[in-house]
């Protein structure tokens, strides 16, 4: 079924829809990054969200999710390191898993690298990873783990 609405209206509608119905319900910026990154296929890089695709079509859903991922990522980078650390602590506190186990796993796997949108420039990517390493050093020390940098 073809939609007669202009492309810009569809994209704004899809962007607003994903924010209103999903992202606004996630209390931490880091949690929003995790949510959006999980919607991206690790094989194709395409974002997939059945509900959004059903309303706006697969291509518009992908564009809206891609746009939101970049916006949330840039919002995260615009936060001070202290604010990022507080937000990350909030995210960790919302998980059902043990914080020490989570941080130990993150040290070994570095899964936060997968939170970076595909079209982010290298300096932003480097800043994100540098900040994550600094926060991981702090958080692992708080739970009594020795810091092991998975990126090194």
The pLDDT tens digits for 80-123 are: 999 999 999 999 999 988 999 999 999 989 899 999 999 999 99
Q: Mean pLDDT, to the nearest integer, of 53-60?
A: 89
Task: Quickly state the pLDDT bin for 17 (edges 50, 70, 90).
Answer: confident
User: Does the pLDDT of residue 4 top 50, yes or no?
Assistant: no
Tokens of 10: 């569809």
Predicted TM-score of the model (pTM): 0.85
Q: Per residue in 123-141, pLDDT tens? A: 999 999 999 999 999 999 9
- Is residue 94 a contact partner of residue 31, using CB atoms and an 8 Å limit? yes
Residues in the chain: 152
- Integer Cα distance of 65 and 67 in angstroms: 5
Give pLDDT tens digits for 23-45: 889 999 999 999 999 999 999 99
HEC letters along the chain? CCCCCCHHHHHHHHHHHHHHHCHHHCCCHHHHHHHHHHCECCCCCCECCHHHHHHHCHHHHHHHHHHHHHHHHHHHHHCCHHHHHHHHHHHHHHCCCCHHHHHHHHHHHCHHHHHCCCCCCHHHHHHHHHHHHHHHHHHHHHCCCCCCCCCC
Rounded to a whole number of angstroms, the distance between the first and last alpha carbons of the chain is 50
Sign of CA dihedral 135, 138, 142, 147: positive
- What is the residue extent of each domain of the chain? 7-142
Calpha distance 121→139 (Å, rounded): 27
pLDDT, tens digit, for every residue of 66-80?
999 999 999 999 999
Quote the tokens at residue 88.
Answer: 């990350």
pLDDT value at residue 3 = 44
């Amino acid at each position: 079924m073809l939609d007669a609405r202009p492309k810009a209206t569809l994209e704004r509608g899809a962007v607003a829809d994903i924010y209103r119905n999903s992202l606004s319900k996630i209390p931490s910026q880091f949690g929003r990054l995790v949510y959006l990154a999980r919607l991206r296929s690790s094989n194709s890089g395409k974002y997939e969200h059945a509900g959004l695709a059903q309303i706006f079509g697969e291509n518009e859903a992908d564009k809206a999710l891609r746009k939101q991922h970049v916006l949330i990522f840039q919002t995260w980078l615009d936060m001070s390191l202290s604010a990022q650390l507080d937000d990350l602590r909030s995210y960790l506190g919302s998980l059902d898993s043990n914080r020490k186990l989570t941080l130990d796993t993150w040290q070994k796997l570095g899964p936060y690298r997968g939170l970076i949108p595909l079209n982010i420039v290298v300096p932003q990517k480097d800043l994100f990873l540098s900040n994550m390493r600094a926060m991981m050093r702090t958080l692992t020390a708080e739970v009594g783990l020795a810091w092991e940098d998975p990126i090194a």
